[in-house]
Amino acid sequence: MTGRIVHLPWWASVLAAAAGGYLLDVASPELAWWPAAFAGAALILASVWQQRWALGLLAGFVAGAAFWGPHISWLTLYLGPVPWLGLCAVMILWFALFGIAAAVATRGLALLGRNGFRAWWIVLCQAAAAAGLWVLREEVQGAWPYGGFAWGRLAHTQADGPLAQAVSWLGFAGLSGAIAFAVALPVAAVFLCRPRRVALPALAGSLVILVVLALAPAAALPQTGTLRVAAVQGNSKSGIFDDRESGDVLRDHLVATERLLDELEAERENVDVIVWPENSAEFGLPDNPLASQRIARLAKRADAPIVVGTVLENPDGSYTNSSLVWSADGPEPVRYDKRYPVPFAEYMPNREFFHALAPDLVDLVQLEYAHGRLPAAFDVTTPAGAVRAGLAICFDIIFDAHAVGMVDEGAEVIFAQTNNADFGRTDESAQQLAIARLRAVETGRALINISTVGTSAVVDPSGRDLAALEPFTADAMVAEVPLVTGKTSALRLGSGIAAAWMIAGALGLAAGALSRMRGRR
């Protein structure tokens, strides 16, 4: 093998990047054509493979724009283009930096052929470096700035595909890395100067990895019992700009719960717990005696507690987006506060700076929600006994650390309360449910994803829907879910797997950069 560098011409690189980014969105809900993720990732990698850094930057920018533009277009529904452009700009920046890093790493590692390295060794090193850098990009975008935006990850595309079970062994970052590595192997072989001897083994290796991931069953955990859960979707006008009166959202969920209890009584059935969505009890429920009594009456009639969502004011003037439990005797002494409030929606970072740029939009964020510090799981006293429930309010569900926190604090089942009304009938709620479905598999816990308007579903630990509701209908769903204990491999080893991928990416980048420097000398 010589040291000649093979790469796409600039125009083909740009076209491949655009097509690859768009295919990643096609692989995500609402379309959810999961096989498109493999082609999309392959085209993005091909667009930056062994390029000079400037073209890697351009290809990464184009791929990021082609993906993030349509993927989060739901932000424009009520808020217009400014928030969408702002978030897209940050996410595209990470893609552009990935393009530079992947180009430098793969180009530099290709030069190892001049030093007598075997072709298969170069292919493995390039593929590992590219996959590691892909994971590094996803992890950084999920942490910075303002807590990050852990959305649009490669693993998310497989929520409805055959690789979903593998997330219980590898975690989200691990599954993203494994897919990227499997895709990178044939890409690396194709761009060798003389690919004939390596192309077929690389393709075979890629297929073996994907088949193993597809055949892996979900990690099994000990089951301690079952819980009969009801979840109520009030179909409320609960968006920022919805025309409603105070108390309308609460009334919608009271009425829908009464209808549920009528049906249960007619069929002589019962439930152990009822779950309402985020913000379903509106503001300051403990300070509203009438609302408190009405919920307590429903809990008494159901002979089951009701987990509600409400906004609470703190002594320092801040607010928390919270979950409480109501029984026949009123509020129980448990509470969870949302750990990951949404920046620019539930609180405004650097308010003065952004107010100077977009005063009308910034003024819409009037309340400052604090980051929750309470445990992410609490005990719910049910007719079946005390159950330890993990809580994830809306944005919480996308963060790996929160999943670990829920299980570390003893969660046997997960209640994922959310309010998607601000995004109408866009893809946002379907994308969030896909993440929640993978989270159920990753944690090995049944998960109740209940929204004010949808998309709502009860998901078992294998990611299968046990019950689901039609979006934008007032309805309730009932399902019997397992209660489990213990940790999956993903929770025990996931952070280590993610770190290993990122180290591989960093080492590949360093080796590629050093090889290029030596080549120039």
Residue 214 shares a structural domain with residue 244 = no
**CA–CA separation, 386 and 219 (whole Å):** 25
Edge-to-edge order in the sheet of strand 377-382 = 377-382, 385-393, 413-418, 447-451, 456-459, 465-469
Torsion, Cα 483 489 495 499, to 10 degrees, reads: -160
Q: What is the CA radius of gyration of the chain?
A: 25
Residue 117 shares a structural domain with residue 231 = no
| Model confidence, pTM | 0.95
Q: Is residue 344 part of a domain?
A: no
Q: Where are the beta strands (DSSP E) in 267-365?
A: 273-275, 306-313, 319-327, 330-337
- In the block, which residue shows the tokens 């009464």? 258
In the prediction, which pLDDT does 78 show? 78
Query: How many other C-beta atoms lie within 10 A of the C-beta of residue 245?
Result: 8
β-strands 456-459, 319-327: how paired?
Answer: unpaired
- Name the token pair of 184: 């990178």
Task: Find, among 107, 124, 96, the residue nearest to 184 by Cα.
Answer: 124
Residue 110 shares a structural domain with residue 178 = yes
Residue 126 shares a structural domain with residue 252 = no
Q: Is residue 130 part of a domain?
A: yes
Residue 433 shares a structural domain with residue 393 = yes
Q: How many CA atoms lie within 13 A of 232 on its CB side?
A: 28
Query: How many other C-beta atoms lie within 10 A of the C-beta of residue 276?
Result: 31
In the prediction, which pLDDT does 348 show? 84
Residue 174 shares a structural domain with residue 292 = no
In the prediction, which pLDDT does 1 show? 43
**CA–CA separation, 241 and 331 (whole Å):** 30
Q: Could you tell me the CATH number of the domain that includes residue 265?
A: 3.60.110.10
Query: How many other C-beta atoms lie within 10 A of the C-beta of residue 85?
Result: 13
User: Is there a contact between 443 and 491 (Cβ–Cβ < 8 Å)?
Assistant: yes
Residue 243 shares a structural domain with residue 286 = yes
Count how many residues are written for the chain.
Answer: 521
Domain that includes residue 379, residue range: 223-333+366-487
Residue 378 shares a structural domain with residue 475 = yes
| Stretch (H or E) spanning 390 | strand 385-393
**Cα 280 to chain centroid, rounded:** 23
DSSP 8-state code for residue 398: G
Residue 483 shares a structural domain with residue 497 = no
Q: Is residue 285 part of a domain?
A: yes
Q: Is residue 348 part of a domain?
A: no
Residue 477 shares a structural domain with residue 516 = no
- In the block, which residue shows the tokens 């993906």? 67
pLDDT average per 10 residues of sequence, the chain (521 residues):
77 98 95 96 98 97 98 89 93 98 95 72 94 98 93 97 96 98 96 77 94 95 96 91 84 97 96 97 94 96 97 90 96 96 86 79 81 96 94 97 97 97 92 98 98 95 96 97 97 96 97 79 58
Task: Kindly provide the b/e burial profile for residues 280-303, where b requires at least 16 CB atoms within 10 angstroms of the residue's own CB.
Answer: bbbbebbebeebbebbbebbeebe
Q: Is residue 83 part of a domain?
A: yes
Q: Is residue 48 part of a domain?
A: yes
User: Number of folded domains in the chain?
Assistant: 2
**CA–CA separation, 374 and 338 (whole Å):** 9
**CA–CA separation, 198 and 408 (whole Å):** 45
Q: Is residue 352 part of a domain?
A: no
Q: Is residue 356 part of a domain?
A: no
Residue 314 shares a structural domain with residue 194 = no
- Name the token pair of 217: 């069953």
Task: Kindly provide the b/e burial profile for residues 489-511, where b requires at least 16 CB atoms within 10 angstroms of the residue's own CB.
Answer: bbbebbbebbebbbebbbebbeb
Residue 102 shares a structural domain with residue 230 = no
